[in-house]
C-alpha cells in the first residue's frame, strides 16, 4: 500500500505587526535603561561641566547676582570629587566683603541619585568678613540670580535629563581655622569658626566660635587702646532675618570673666545684648592717684539695646566686691575726731549702684555703701560732664557720733524706714564738680557743735570738747571750749559766734573737698 506523503506547509510571511512589537519592546527596555541610567548620565554631565572654565565664570556671575555685588574666584582645582580654591573675594552691595583662602569642599555625586546636592568636608584656612560704609547707588546692576541659574542649567544638562537634577541641598558643615570679623570698631581675630549642618528648607544655621580675641570700641580711662577681650567660646544661630547669640564667654586680665547673649535683626538693624561680668579689676578704670585709694573688683549686669544710626540705651547694675577706701585726708580726720581707727582703711562690705544715661548726663541710682558697724550711705547722684549733684541719706552708729558734740541730737535725727536698724540718719545734699564736690553736712555739724557748747549740759559738753580738741590743738588749747562757756554767760549770740568760729578750725569732719 502506497503511503501518501503530506505536502509540507509553506512558511508564513513575517507580519509587520510582529516587528512593531519587537520595536516597542526595545523602546520600553531602552526607556527603562535610560531611566535607570539617567542619574549616572546627569552625574557625568555635571562632573564634566564643573571642570570647564565656563562653569567658573558662571559661578562668579551667579554669586555676584545673589549678593548684589561682585565675586572673584581663583581657578577651581579638582582631585576626584574634592574641589579646592587658593582664594576667593566677594563684595555685596551693602558694604560687606568676604576674603577667604585655602578653600576646599567635596561633592558627594552619589547623593545625586537620591535627589540631593550633598556638600561635605568643606572649610577654609582663613576667612575675613568685613563691613565698610557704602555710598548710595554703589550696587552694581546685573542679571538676576534666577536667570543666571537657568542659563547655567540649560547649557550644562540636556533638556530630557533636567528633571533628574537635584532640587535639595545638604550641607555637612564648614570649618574655618582662622576667622576675622570687622564692623565699625568691633573686631574678632584669630578665632576658629564652625558652621553646623544645614539642609534646604531650614531657616537657620548653627555656628560656633572658639578662641581668639574680641576688640570693642570702648576705651577705659587709663588704657591706651580700646578694650580687648579673650574670646573663650560663642554659640550663635544665623538666619536671613537675624543673628542670635545664645551664649558667649569672654575673659580679661586678672581673672575677669563675662558671659554675653543677644540678637541682631538684619533688616531693621535693631539689636540687644545682656552681659554679666565678674571679677573686673577696678584699678583699670581709675587714675593713678585713686588706684592707691580705692580697691576692689566689679561684678554686675549690663543691659543694652539700640537700632541702626541711633545711640544705644543701656542700664548697668554694678557691685564692688572686696572694696576698700584708704589714704584720704578726710578718713584720717575722721580717725582723729571720732577716735575710730576703722576709718583709716574703710572696708566696704556693701557697695552697689545702678547706672543709666539721662539725656547727656549719667544717673547713678540705688547707691548703697556700707561698712558694717560704722556707716551706711544710700541715695542717688547725677553726673553731667564734671559737674555732680546728689541727694544722699547717711547713717552712722551712735558710737561714731559720741565724740562730736550735738551731732547725735541736732543733725542725725532723721528716719530711714528702709535702712538697717541701729543707725542714726541725716540727709546730705551734694553739688559742685568731681574735682571739688561740696556738701551741706559740714556746716550743719559745725553749727550743731557750737549750739551744744553753749546750750547743752556744761560738764558733758566740756568733756566731749576737751577730748575732741586735745589731739588736734594740744593740751592747753583743748581748754578753749571752757573759755567759750565762760564768755557766753552774758551774750548768747557772741558766744555762739565765738564757739562756731573755733569749731570751724578744729572740726572739718566732712570737708568740701
Question: What number is the average pLDDT over the span 422-448?
Answer: 83
User: How sure is the predictor about 505, in pLDDT bands with cuts at 50, 70 and 90?
Assistant: very low
- Chain segment 195-243, per-residue pLDDT in tens: 999 888 888 999 999 999 999 888 776 678 888 999 999 999 999 889 9
SS3 377: strand
Query: CA separation (Å) from 304 to 40, 312, 316, 355?
Result: 56, 7, 8, 12
pLDDT at residue 290, rounded to an integer? 78
Bridge partners (DSSP) of residue 297 are 281, 321
The model's pTM is 0.74
Question: CA angle at residue 114 from 112 to 115, to 5 degrees?
Answer: 65
Using the predicted structure, report yes or no on whether residue 139 has a pLDDT greater than 60. no
* 3-state per-residue secondary structure call for 301-349: EEEEEECCCCCCEEEEEEEEEEEEEECCHHHHHHHHHHCCHHHCEEEEC
* Burial (Cβ within 10 Å: 0-12, 13-18, ≥19) of residue 453: buried
Rounded to whole angstroms, the Cα distance separating 510 from 513 reads 8
- 438 φ, ψ (degrees, to nearest 5): -120, 145
Rounded to whole angstroms, the Cα distance separating 402 from 429 reads 23
Q: Helices (DSSP H) in 408-479: which residue ranges?
A: 441-455, 458-473
User: How sure is the predictor about 385, in pLDDT bands with cuts at 50, 70 and 90?
Assistant: confident
Amino acid at each position: 500500500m502506497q503511503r501518501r506523503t503530506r505536502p509540507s506547509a509553506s512558511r508564513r510571511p513575517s507580519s509587520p505587526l510582529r516587528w512593531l512589537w519587537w520595536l516597542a519592546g526595545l523602546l520600553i527596555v531602552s526607556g527603562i535603561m535610560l531611566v535607570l541610567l539617567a542619574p549616572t548620565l546627569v552625574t557625568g554631565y555635571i562632573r564634566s561641566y564643573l571642570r570647564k572654565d565656563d562653569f567658573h565664570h558662571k559661578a562668579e556671575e551667579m554669586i555676584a547676582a545673589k549678593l548684589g555685588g561682585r565675586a572673584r574666584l581663583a581657578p577651581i582645582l579638582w582631585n576626584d570629587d574634592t574641589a579646592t580654591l587658593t582664594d576667593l573675594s566677594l563684595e555685596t552691595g551693602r558694604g560687606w566683603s568676604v576674603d577667604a583662602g585655602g578653600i576646599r569642599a567635596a561633592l558627594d555625586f552619589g547623593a545625586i541619585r537620591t535627589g540631593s546636592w550633598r556638600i561635605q568636608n568643606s572649610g577654609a584656612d582663613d576667612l575675613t568678613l568685613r563691613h565698610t560704609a557704602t555710598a548710595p547707588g554703589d550696587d552694581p546692576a546685573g542679571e538676576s540670580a534666577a536667570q543666571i541659574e537657568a542659563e547655567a542649567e540649560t547649557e550644562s544638562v540636556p533638556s530630557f535629563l533636567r528633571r533628574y537634577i537635584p532640587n535639595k541641598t545638604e550641607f555637612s558643615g564648614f570649618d574655618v581655622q582662622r576667622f576675622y570679623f570687622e564692623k565699625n570698631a568691633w573686631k574678632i581675630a584669630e578665632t576658629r569658626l564652625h558652621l553646623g549642618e544645614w539642609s534646604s528648607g531650614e531657616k537657620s544655621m548653627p555656628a560656633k566660635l572658639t578662641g581668639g580675641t574680641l576688640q570693642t570700641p570702648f576705651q577705659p580711662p587709663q588704657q591706651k587702646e580700646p578694650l580687648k577681650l579673650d574670646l573663650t567660646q560663642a554659640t550663635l544661630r544665623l538666619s536671613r532675618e537675624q543673628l542670635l547669640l545664645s551664649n558667649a564667654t569672654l575673659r580679661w586680665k586678672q581673672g575677669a570673666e563675662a558671659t554675653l547673649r543677644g540678637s541682631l535683626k538684619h533688616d531693621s538693624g535693631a539689636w540687644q545684648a545682656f552681659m554679666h561680668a565678674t571679677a573686673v579689676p577696678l584699678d583699670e578704670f581709675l587714675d593713678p592717684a585713686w588706684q592707691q585709694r580705692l580697691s576692689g573688683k566689679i561684678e554686675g549686669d549690663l543691659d543694652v539695646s539700640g537700632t541702626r544710626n541711633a545711640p544705644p540705651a543701656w542700664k548697668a547694675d554694678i557691685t564692688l566686691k572686696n572694696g576698700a577706701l584708704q589714704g584720704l585726708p578726710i578718713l584720717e580726720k575722721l580717725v582723729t575726731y571720732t577716735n575710730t581707727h576703722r576709718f583709716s582703711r574703710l572696708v566696704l562690705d556693701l557697695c552697689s549702684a545702678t547706672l543709666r544715661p539721662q539725656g547727656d548726663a549719667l544717673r547713678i541710682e540705688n547707691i548703697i555703701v556700707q561698712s558694717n558697724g560704722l556707716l551706711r550711705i544710700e541715695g542717688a547722684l547725677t553726673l553731667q560732664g564734671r559737674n555732680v549733684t546728689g541727694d544722699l541719706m547717711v547713717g552712722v552708729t551712735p558710737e561714731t557720733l559720741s565724740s562730736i558734740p550735738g551731732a547725735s541730737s541736732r543733725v542725725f535725727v532723721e528716719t530711714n524706714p528702709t535702712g538697717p536698724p541701729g543707725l542714726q540718719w541725716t540727709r546730705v545734699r551734694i553739688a559742685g564738680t568731681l574735682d571739688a564736690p561740696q556738701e551741706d553736712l559740714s556746716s550743719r555739724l559745725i553749727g550743731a557743735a557750737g549750739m551744744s557748747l553753749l546750750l547743752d549740759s556744761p560738764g558733758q559738753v566740756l568733756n566731749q570738747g576737751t577730748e575732741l580738741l586735745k589731739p588736734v590743738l594740744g593740751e592747753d588749747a583743748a581748754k578753749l571750749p571752757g573759755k567759750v562757756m565762760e564768755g557766753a554767760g552774758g551774750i548768747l549770740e557772741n558766744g555762739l559766734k565765738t564757739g562756731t568760729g573755733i569749731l570751724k578750725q578744729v572740726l572739718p569732719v566732712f570737708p568740701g573737698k
